[in-house]
Structure 1
Amino acid sequence: MPSYTSSEMREWLGGVRDLAAAVNAGTPLPELLNLIAETACALTGYEASGVLLVDEERHRLYISGSAGLSVEYVAEVNERRTITVDSGPLSGGPSTWAFRSGEPVIVPDILADPSFAPWAWLAENYGYRAMAAVPLLVDRTPVGTLNCYRTSVHDFGPDEVALLWTLANQAGTALQSSRLISSLTEQRRLLEQSEDIHRELTEVVLRAGGVQGVAEALARLQQRPVLVTDAAGLAAANAPYGGVQLAPEVVDPEQLPDGIGEVPEGNRVTVPVSLGGEVVARLWLPGLLAEMSELDRRALEHGAVVCALEFLRQRTATDVEWSLRSDLLADFLTGTNVDALSARAASLGHDLSRAHTVIVAASDGDGGPGRTRSLLSTVRAVAALCQPRPMVTSTGGDVLMLWPEAPRADSPAQAAERIRNAVGRLVGAPTVTVVVGHRCERLADARAEMGIARAALELARLHGVDRVVTLPDLGVYGLLLQLNDPHELVRFSDRTLSA
């Protein structure tokens, strides 16, 4: 999906605001469910949507709110082809799997998917051809699914699924809030204040305040400092309060709660910020969960939703930018003349006239596209903090860099160590080996040096992993990789004779 424009961001936040306003107004549950379905269609552009809720016995799912679905379709599913979640011939559909697994289930083509067979003729009769089922969670417990339908075959992309997750999370919050309102008068007052909180957070986003602005607004609302860390545990935003500022701490991943909760022995409350089921960041506040009011918790939940949208917007924009940068280095390595690339490079902040050092990194162990993408993302995050900007791309499982020489820039060895350490902070990530190759006065020399560095990486990993290696570290093996360079032979001879 394309990067968010200001109007699109306003539309999304407006839809979420309308749900919160409906909850605060005491909207009856059937109307609230219809509003959730209508909001899903309005924000995604899909032709139909339904909210399915599990019955009290937790045996069946019923379409309890809808938009775009015909009355006849809803009646047929609910009365004669009722979806079951435990057993039976109608318990193998996508809604059941989303409910039971807690993960989205995508059906790009209803007529080609065997799991949808019991309802396929019905869907075809009413013009529905593709669908996505996303679980609705209340207190991390599934209560139903949010289903979205297309009238043509459609492959839901990862960004679309991430947005549906965000909407489903907000819908789950709205359902939970609605239940509380129906039983507690005081809760209504708190939720009305929660709308004010959401409005303040929304205004931060519309002012382009970013994640830092959200953290500062939460700090004012909570009257305590707020820290936002990214997936690597590094500070993405930090808002002090009363002269106190939090610092990131190393926490055992097994101690991190799935939802809002405390970290044992840390005297900190944390809230995950999720995109498409992936925790991309965390909010941190000092104190104990028991000390926080229901309104405080609502504010943190709203803050996590708004932060998720900000991280998605940043991620989309960053992906576009780095795609352009990656194409630049890829074109150079495939033989494009340096002079022909100079104008493009300058527009992206690269100075091709500088000396550059070749750096190559790869995940240790059995690699794969997922690991390469994760490593590439980490390298980009490190490179984004450097000026002038390094050039980065990936090929064949390796991440390739041309590190520019500059008075205030990290040395290549420092950059390589920063990359290795950054990967080490990622939860569940494999270790990484990094090779620092030669310094190239002329960029045209970097093509051959890149091949040498990649060969050195393979050689280095035969003798140890999770380290930074230079060509001299490989001794005579490193020399053999450079037999076409007489200057390197002389340097090796001098080092050996002077030892």
Structure 2
Amino acid sequence: MRESMSSASNEGSLEVRRWLDSVRIITQTVATGKPLIEVLNLIAETAGSLMGYEFCGVLLPDASGRKLTIEGSSGLSVEYIDHVNADHPVLLQQDVSAEAPSSTAFRTGRPVAIADIQANLQFAPWGGVAKEQGYRSMISVPLMESQDTVIGTLNCYRAGVHEFGRQEIALLAVLADHAAIALTTARLRSAEAARLEELVLLNRELQLQRDLLQKSEDIHQKLTEIALRGAGVPGIATALSILISRAILIEDMQGTMIGSSNPAAKFPDDRTRADKREDETSEFLRHPVLLDENEVARIWIASGPEPLTAIDGRAVEHAAVVTSLEILRIRTAEEAQWRLQGEVLNDLLSGEPSAMTKLVARADRLGHDLTVEHFMVGVSLAHVGQSDLDAGLQQALRRINAWTEQMRPRPLSAVHHDRIVVLVPASIVHSMSEVDLAERIRKLAASRRPDAVATAVSLGPCRELNVYTRSYRSVAGALDMLALTGRSDVSVTLAELGLVGLLLQLDDANQLLQYADRTLGPVRAHDCSRKTELVQTLRTYFSTGLVSADTARLLQVHPNTVKQRLRRIQTLTNKDLAHPNDTMELAVALTVGDVAQASPDR
């Protein structure tokens, strides 16, 4: 009897020790920071081992909180787990009469046992998968985090029909409590580990940001030092090229290159760069240079074997900032220089006697010698809107000044009455022809816009200060004459205009106008009162060499219309276009009238 009692006591002690060892293993697994899936599998394996169940599973709510999914298991096949989780989910928050046993245990916080699932209609939706897995009875025990909080269920299954007794359920409840504690602890450790990892990543990111800011500051300091040393935009391009190991080209908004790290590097030509957008090419990158939120230049970056790094991007951004400051400095200096040059030129061309006494000294301080002979070149821009004219003139003046900067004696350039006037020392003109000089300046002044054109007229040499006023009137009149007669995008000397050039140099424009009115006054009056085009017809008739058919074609009228207009002109002027003397007189009157209109006092 004693031996029997002693044997039972020993068996009880062994069972208790086995339970304690199992719980200790679960605790150690949690304490060592094993992944949550290992903890859940261990809980299922421990339940099966301690209670002798063929299959066990740990079910937890999914992220949506709408269903329970099998997250840890022992004995259950992968196919069964996937089938239940995907096709026969254990739904929460549904009608009580249709919920699964696990859903009931989760909702009520009390164990739910089914001795024979084939006899339980509530379990019918899972009957097929149960049969495939090979179990006939089951029990679902809630995992209680606290008295009112359920965090999952521990499900155990037997192959045969089985009545779950009170003591068995109580033991499972004790095991479930330990499992809930282990699960909660594992989750806390996992969350803490995630937070620690996040802190490590954040700290690493902060260190990278600190290093990036430090390197960025170093880059900014280097680029600023280069600008302060007077290396200008070319120096910035060279420094940026060294920093990012790429060829660099910097251009202004007119497409003019203002800085390059390597003149031999292959970049798109200026017209291609003007037409190309950044997203149209992978070969080159383009970064805008902004000043007061306006794009004033572009940085072109050659391709490389690897994409630009973050620090490379910072270097480009800093280079853009320093470039904008350098452009602002250059523009400020240019505006001051242009203002002083403009004041000298305006006083010279106005002929104000009070300004002439100090004019030579003022020009000399700016590097211009007015004591030597100069040729005058006047340039006008056409097909440019009034709103864009000032910008076009300034851009043209910038290009002309860049060309003449190294010339000695130095030419004087400025904007005067919406025209550009360039005074070029005669010693420089002798190295090229007067026509070539005018053409070179015209091309420099021409806008890069395809629809804008420039016209240039040259005159010289001017030997005395008091000659410049009259010379400018002649040049300005020639530019107006060319515009009036439809000639643009050309370079001419005043001498090439023949009679027109000679007449433009006469001082009294009123006499010219009176002569023209005596001959063509009736024709002009007829056009004005009748809204006809007799003067235009006569001008076209002379330009075609007195050919009526060509005149009609250019005017886009019938030849008979031209003949009628010519007869009306002959009647009004009492001149015969078939007579050479009368024809010459009408042609001269027409030219003189145009010259007079183009030569008001300025």
Alignment of structure 1 residues 465-484 onto 2, 5 Å: 465-483=488-506
Alignment of structure 1 residues 17-416 onto 2, 5 Å: 188=209, 189-240=211-262, 244-246=264-266, 249-252=269-272, 255-257=275-277, 261=278, 264=281, 267-287=283-303, 291-337=307-353, 338-365=356-383, 367-368=385-386, 370-386=388-404, 387=407, 388-407=409-428, 412-416=434-438
Q: Secondary structure at the match of 2:346?
A: helix
Alignment CA distance shift 1:478-1:244 (3 Å)? closer
Give the deviation of 1:354 after TM superposition.
1.4
> Could you tell me how far apart the structure 2 residues matched to 1:350 and 1:254 are?
36
- Equivalent pair of 2:447/2:453 in contact (CA under 8 Å): no
Give the deviation of 1:232 after TM superposition.
2.6
Give the deviation of 1:187 after TM superposition.
6.0
Calculate percent identity across the aligned residue pairs: 32
Alignment CA distance shift 1:297-1:384 (3 Å)? same
- Equivalent pair of 2:267/2:302 in contact (CA under 8 Å): no
Runs (5+) with no aligned partner, structure 2: 1-201, 509-602
Runs (5+) with no aligned partner, structure 1: 1-180, 486-499
Q: Secondary structure at the match of 1:403?
A: strand
Give the deviation of 1:454 after TM superposition.
0.4
Q: Secondary structure at the match of 1:406?
A: helix
**For each residue in 1:417-452, what CA deviation from the matched residue of structure 2 results, as whole angstroms up to 9, or x when unmatched?**
334333445357732212122322334312101101
Give the deviation of 1:326 after TM superposition.
0.8
Report the TM-score when normalising by structure 1. 0.53
Q: Aligned residue for 1:6? A: none
- Equivalent pair of 2:434/2:493 in contact (CA under 8 Å): no
Report the TM-score when normalising by structure 2. 0.45
Higher RCO (CA-CA < 8 Å; seq separation 6+): 1
Q: Aligned residue for 1:136? A: none
Alignment CA distance shift 1:466-1:183 (3 Å)? farther
Letter in structure 2 aligned against 1:474: L
Give the deviation of 1:467 after TM superposition.
2.2
**For each residue in 1:225-280, what CA deviation from the matched residue of structure 2 results, as whole angstroms up to 9, or x when unmatched?**
2222223322212222xx954567123466444xxx46638x32222222234332
Q: Secondary structure at the match of 1:208?
A: coil
- Equivalent pair of 2:381/2:446 in contact (CA under 8 Å): no
Q: Secondary structure at the match of 2:311?
A: helix
Q: Secondary structure at the match of 1:251?
A: helix
- Considering fraction of residues, name the structure with more strand: 1
Q: Secondary structure at the match of 2:427?
A: coil
Q: Secondary structure at the match of 2:301?
A: strand
- Equivalent pair of 1:269/1:286 in contact (CA under 8 Å): yes
> Could you tell me how far apart the structure 2 residues matched to 1:415 and 1:281 are?
30
Q: Aligned residue for 2:453? A: 431
Task: Kindly name which structure, 1 or 2, has the bigger radius of gyration based on alpha carbons.
Answer: 2
> Could you tell me how far apart the structure 2 residues matched to 1:217 and 1:197 are?
9
- Equivalent pair of 1:204/1:214 in contact (CA under 8 Å): yes
RMSD, matched Cα: 3.2
- Equivalent pair of 2:234/2:260 in contact (CA under 8 Å): yes
Alignment CA distance shift 1:244-1:483 (3 Å)? closer
Alignment CA distance shift 1:365-1:282 (3 Å)? same
- Equivalent pair of 2:349/2:469 in contact (CA under 8 Å): yes
Letter in structure 1 aligned against 2:269: E
- Equivalent pair of 1:372/1:399 in contact (CA under 8 Å): no
